Amino acid sequence: MAIIAAERELEVYENMGARFDVAANKLGIDPGFQKVLRTPNKEITLYIPVMMDNGAIEVFVGYRVQHSIVRGPGKGGIRFSPAVTLDEVRALASWMTWKCAVVNIPFGGAKGGVICDPEKLSRRELEAITRRYTAELLADIGPERDVPAPDLGTNEQVMAWVMDTYSMHVRHTSTAIVTGKPLDLGGSRGRREATGRGVLIVTDQALRKLGRERTDQRVIIQGFGNVGSVAAELLYEAGYKIVGVADIHGGIYNPKGIDVSKLITHFLEGHTVAGFRGAEAVDKQEILFTDCDILIPAAIENQITSRNADKIKASVIVEAANGPTTALADDILEEKGIYVVPDILANAGGVTVSYFEWVQDRQGYFWSEALVNERLEHLMVESFTDVSAYAERHKVSLRIAAYMLAIDRVAFALKLRGLYA
Ligand code: NAD
């Protein structure tokens, strides 16, 4: 059972730490080692002056946290959002460490963020923030140091600006400095879809474990961005019945099933799922408690908490978002017998193909989409099997098993390196 004070339930870094403590104690890891594994390696705060389109000068606050470089360079996205905090970036950086270790790829964990609202910024303002943020981090990022990627509020274009800024300074084109780039700049085939595809793969694995068929399964997805929309499309094509979807503007529900290809056309026109004719309107949070078999939170943190977990109707939760469930909610979901595929496993498809992108950039040799997808499937199935076996052996939830497997791998590497000497 994770220990966390009720009034601190929504503090994401505490939530990471609460699960870490349970897993590390179960593994019997020495307290000194636990301190090293839990604490970030480096935290950088940046102040980013930008001239806005109206001529006024604004100063934005940005962060980069490198949680661990024990198993390889730091790896993790850059988030542009008004809600970014150092604590959140710290939590996200730590999750990256455990995620990379769960899927056994040679990266540590890092994350970055800038407090800004990309929806209210012009393209030029966004570019200015991105370039100055990157320039300030030149000494700390690099293909062998720390490799950023997209996250909430950032995309391929932002990654192209990061790559260009870094390349200008090192005076050669460095494609392996970021992942999630456009294909024409050394991006990988299949990267855009990778997190959603990974969600499909682990959902299939969960059903196999539970002895269920895809076609009987009614799915609700909260979030229709990069991850949620691709997951919806791939699950729909694979035969799952998508009955509910929500984004920041509202939700939609149809117990008979939603035609996702029509929903995508509607979304491309209005940039929201709200108002789709083939379903009734539902509140964007209430969608989580609406009748379904599989719930996929694919939006933001802290959606399933001790205050609402008992209302969940799904019997399976696949965490496509990072940190959608609080540590206090874990126990309620477990008591209800809900099968939870945890974020550090469920959404690891993105970083796995980011790893493939980094390998291809360094090779200068690019793989077909079929090869990327085949290797992604292989790694995700293997990781699901490893975590599932760990859970059965140690009689713990998949979440604690994923943390245990990851911490065990990082601790082993730490011991080999003697990084504390
Ligand atoms: P995105 O910005 O493309 O999409 C986010 C979606 O969530 C949007 O549809 C937005 O409208 C919706 N949303 C935001 N707040 C909401 C709310 N309160 N209620 C309902 N919907 C809301 O971001 P993304 O890249 O799809 O990332 C989504 C989640 O997945 C994040 O937690 C991110 O950290 C995680 N993740 C992303 C990747 C990736 O490859 N992009 C990889 C791993 C994990």
pLDDT tens digits for range 186-230: 999 999 999 999 999 999 999 999 999 999 899 999 999 999 999
**195: nearest Cα among 95, 100, 320, 305:** 320
Residue 90: partners with Cβ closer than 8 Å, 6 or more residues away:
13, 40, 43, 65, 67, 111
**pLDDT digit string, tens, across residues 143-183:** 999 999 999 999 999 999 999 999 999 999 999 999 999 99
Q: Which of 202, 247, 345 to mutate to test the pocket of ligand 1 (most atoms within 8 A of CB)?
A: 247
Instruction: Give the integer Cα–Cα distance in Å for 347 and 362.
Output: 24
Q: pLDDT at residue 118 above 90? A: yes
Q: What token pair was written down for 175?
A: 């494609």
Q: pLDDT at residue 141 above 90? A: yes
Q: What token pair was written down for 138?
A: 């030149």
Cα 5 to ligand 1 centre (Å): 27
Contact 175, 163 (CB under 8 A): yes
Element at 139 (helix H, strand E): none
Instruction: Give the integer Cα–Cα distance in Å for 273 and 259.
Output: 12
Q: pLDDT at residue 420 above 80? A: no
For residues 52-80, give the mean pLDDT: 98
> What percentage of the chain has pLDDT greater than the value 90?
97
Q: pLDDT at residue 421 above 70? A: no
Q: What token pair was written down for 127?
A: 């570019």
Question: Which letter does DSSP use for residue 322 in this model?
Answer: S
For residues 260-277, give the mean pLDDT: 97
CB environment 273-308: b (16+ within 10 A), e (fewer): bbebeebeebebeebbbbebbbbbbbbbbbbbbbee
Ligand 1: does its nearest atom lie under 6 Å from the Cβ of 322?
yes
**387: nearest Cα among 101, 94, 72:** 101
Ligand 1: does its nearest atom lie under 6 Å from the Cβ of 320?
yes
Q: pLDDT at residue 375 above 90? A: yes
Residues in the chain: 421
Q: What token pair was written down for 180?
A: 């999630």
Residue 406 CB coordination number (10 Å)? 27
Q: pLDDT at residue 4 above 90? A: no
Question: Which letter does DSSP use for residue 7 in this model?
Answer: G
What's the predicted TM-score (pTM) here? 0.96
Task: Check residue 106 and give its pLDDT.
Answer: 98
Instruction: Give the integer Cα–Cα distance in Å for 223 and 297.
Output: 7
* Residue from 75, 99, 111, 241 carrying the catalytic annotation: 111
Q: Is the dihedral of CA 93, 97, 103, 105 positive or negative?
A: positive
Cα 83 to ligand 1 centre (Å): 13
Confidence of residue 2 (pLDDT cuts 50, 70, 90): low
Confidence of residue 6 (pLDDT cuts 50, 70, 90): confident
Residue 229: partners with Cβ closer than 8 Å, 6 or more residues away:
196, 264, 267
Mean pLDDT of the chain: 96
Q: pLDDT at residue 1 above 80? A: no
E-strand stretches of 74-205: 74-81, 109-115, 146-150
Catalytic-residue membership of 111 = yes
Q: pLDDT at residue 101 above 90? A: yes
Ligand 1: does its nearest atom lie under 6 Å from the Cβ of 224?
yes
Task: Check residue 113 and give its pLDDT.
Answer: 98
Q: pLDDT at residue 74 above 80? A: yes
Confidence of residue 5 (pLDDT cuts 50, 70, 90): confident
**pLDDT digit string, tens, across residues 219-259:** 999 999 999 999 999 999 999 999 999 999 999 999 999 99
Cα 350 to ligand 1 centre (Å): 13
In this structure, which long-range contacts are made by residues 270-274, counting pairs with CB atoms below 8 Å and at least 24 apart in sequence?
Answer: 272/224, 272/247, 272/248, 273/224, 273/245, 273/246, 273/247, 273/249, 274/247, 274/249, 274/250
For residues 58-87, give the mean pLDDT: 97
Question: Which letter does DSSP use for residue 311 in this model?
Answer: G
Task: Check residue 209 and give its pLDDT.
Answer: 97
